[in-house]
Amino acid sequence: MKITDFMRDQMRQVTRKFMSGNAAEATAAIQKSLKEKSTHSGAGTGAGGPNMQQFMKDLMPDKNVTPDITGAQTELPQFVTDLLQRLGVPAQGAPNVSDISGDAEQHSPTSDKARSDTTVPGQFLSKSFTNQAGTRTYRLYIPSTYKGQAMPLMVMLHGCTQNADDFAKGTGMNAVAEESQCFVVYPNQTQAANSSKCWNWFKSVDQQRDQGEPSIIAGITQTVIDDYKLDAGKVYVAGLSAGGAMAIIMGTAYPDMYAAVGVHSGLPYAAAHDLPSALAAMKGSAAPAFNQRSANAQLKSIPIIVFHGDRDATVSPRNSETLMAQSVPEYLDDELAQKGEAGKGGKPVVIVEEGKVPNGHTYTRTSHHDRNGRAMGEHWLIHGAGHAWAGGSKTGSYTDGRGPDATREMMRFFSTQSRA
């Protein structure tokens, strides 16, 4: 279904009312929009017309929706709450609905109560950071082998409805970091900032350096580097879903801080700027404000590893293709090639490999290397997988144990990257 200009305009009006915190006015606007949509499409009055029901099914194909817009309401209708919260928009007084779902193995999110990870010998500390944009708590894993030496740092950004403890358990990153002698920090999104605890990847203010949530995540990163005298040239950021979308924002806004980016089931940089464009981006359509050339100019020097399931019904796997196009352009700068700067000019080497996890998923890995053999990017398309962390543990939420092991592969890729 094509989202028309009329529909997009109506959704923007609803978004403005909703984001202002007035659920009653937003509901009234939704009721009016749906009725007008029915009139425009010749479906008759109300939301019961066949065109309107098809409209809502197209918006949320994995939901069984029969919109009811009758009567006065003080809160958003449930079908609208589902849609908005899947996009990471906070809804006052509405139940949390995850933006991550699919046909992969899934588990209920764990509680917010902080707890120690007893499966690894290092320390798992609870800390907090505050700047002008707000306060966020975070969890910090310190490997048992740390004696003051300059170790690498991994920044892990959880998905919607998750928290740092849940994400650490689900990904098993602490155990891999212990083996690799790497610190790991897990910033926590708050329910006050987003009722589903999604990072606000689709808001313009949260896509900019030294603004909003990026400033907080960067502040946490720098604090950990300074406090423990870590290797500032080996700092990496990765995330799942909304966390993956925020990870590429961090890599773009702070190329002087992060040496590489990992994105699992996420979205490209600047894929959205409001609710309608977020919906379009999640469905795999280019957002109206998306500027491919500008994104390429910013991202082409940032090494990236991307994982996505080809049966992801929440975030279209087409987003992973766009991420790779942003970060690894087909041809590098000809001017640099003419200057004879080895490894910076000419066509990168592309290697495509098919693989299968024993008793698990098959996958296609496409790796890009410069003329010196340096890894520029990897794209893992996991066949039959939904919207969940590949190779994760059932002790955390939204994981798919049928692999491949995204945690170890990310750590392997990051270990080859450093910032001068």
Domain extents in the chain: 5-65+76-86, 123-302+389-414
Count of other CB atoms within 10 angstroms of residue 110? 17
Q: State which amino acid sits at residue 306.
A: V
Q: What is the mean pLDDT of residues 73-87?
A: 47
Average pLDDT over residues 175-195: 97
pLDDT of residue 132 exceeding 60, the answer is: yes
Average pLDDT over residues 160-169: 97
More confident residue, 254 or 69: 254
Q: How confident is the model at residue 26 (pLDDT cuts 50, 70, 90)?
A: low
Sign of CA dihedral 411, 108, 89, 63: positive
More confident: 104 or 322: 322
Euclidean distance between CA atoms 28 and 353, whole angstroms: 53
- Amino acid 276: pLDDT: 83
Per-residue model confidence (pLDDT) at position 7: 54
Task: Determine whether 386 is exposed, middle or buried from the number of CB atoms within 10 Å of its CB (0-12, 13-18, 19+).
Answer: buried
**pLDDT value at 158 more than 70:** yes
Helix (H) or strand (E) holding 54: helix 50-59
Measure CA 407 to chain center: 15
| 3-state secondary structure (DSSP) of residue 266 | coil
- For position 284, what pLDDT does the model report? 86
Class of domain 123-302+389-414: alpha beta
Q: Predicted confidence band at 341 (pLDDT cuts at 50, 70, 90)? A: very low
**Cα dist. 300→57, 391, 409 in Å?**
37, 28, 21
Segment 394-405 mean pLDDT: 95
Mean pLDDT of 143-171: 97
Which DSSP string do the residues of 318-385 spell out, in sequence order? HHHHHHHHHHS-SS--HHHHHTT-TTTSSPPEEEEEEEE-TTS-EEEEEEEE-TT--EEEEEEEEET-
For range 209-220, the mean pLDDT: 97
Residues 264, 390 contacting (CB under 8 angstroms) = yes
Rounded to 10 deg, the angle between the 292-299 and 318-327 helix axes is 60
Are 265 and 99 in contact by the 8 Å Cβ rule? The answer is no
Angle between helices 275-282 and 5-19 (to 10 degrees): 120
Average pLDDT, the chain: 77
Amino acid at position 250, single letter: M
Q: Which two tokens stand for residue 336?
A: 């640099």
pLDDT at 397 over 90: yes
What pLDDT, on the 0 to 100 scale, is given for residue 288?
A: 40
pTM: 0.73
CA dihedral 373, 376, 380, 386 (to 10 degrees): 170
DSSP state for residue 16 in the 8-state scheme: H
